[in-house]
Amino acid sequence: MIMKIAFSTSGKDLNALVCSRFGRADGFLIYDTDTDEYTVVENQQNVNAPQGAGIQAAQAVVKAGASALVTGHCGPKAFTVFAASSIRVYHSDEVPISEALQAWRRDALAEMHAAAVDGHWV
């Protein structure tokens, strides 16, 4: 059973919108489905990274203990990291995280099995 879900976002709480960007999102809200509590992991070091933002953001999401990610788009290199760590990735539009969370609970979010966008380099 999934215990922690990561949402890419520029906000700090459940009213904030899901951010369509993954690697260069401002941060990630990590929601614990067991306790219904959440924390926010900053992603500032990747917002202006010259390259590899998705890779490092994916690693940060893994380190935060998430086993699912809800985001807008996600590139091929981030997917490589998720594949190595068995994280499931779900697509959401830019709706409030609380709505995306409910949709995820209803199993109404589409799971992404491959990159939704091309990489920047290859």
Partner 1 sequence: MHIAIASGKGGTGKTTVAANLAALTEGDETVYVDCDVEAPNGHLFLKPELSFSETAGIPVPQVDPALCTGCGKCVEVCRFNALACVAGKLIVFAELCHGCGGCVPACPEKALTESSHAIGTVSRGMAGDLHFVQGTLRVGAAMSPPLIRAVKAKAPDAAVIIYDAPPGTSCPVITTLKGMDYVVLVTEPTPFCLNDLQLAVETVRTLGLPFGVVINRADVGDARVRDYCDAEDIPVLLTLPEDRRIAAAYSGGALIVDALPEYRASFMELLGKIRDGAGQREKGKAVRS
Total of residues contacting partner 1 (CB under 8 A): 19
Its sign, for the CA torsion 55, 61, 67, 73, is negative
Q: Which is nearer to partner 1, 8 or 56 (CB)?
A: 56
Confirm or reject binding of residue 48 to partner 1 (CB under 8 A).
Answer: no
Among residue numbers 82 through 111, which ones bind partner 1 (CB under 8 A)?
A: 84-86
Task: From 11-19, 27-35, 49-57, 100-108, give the range in contact with partner 1 by CB under 8 A.
Answer: 49-57
Confirm or reject binding of residue 55 to partner 1 (CB under 8 A).
Answer: yes
Q: Which residues bind partner 1 (CB under 8 A)?
A: 46, 49-53, 55-56, 58-59, 62, 77, 80-81, 84-86, 121-122
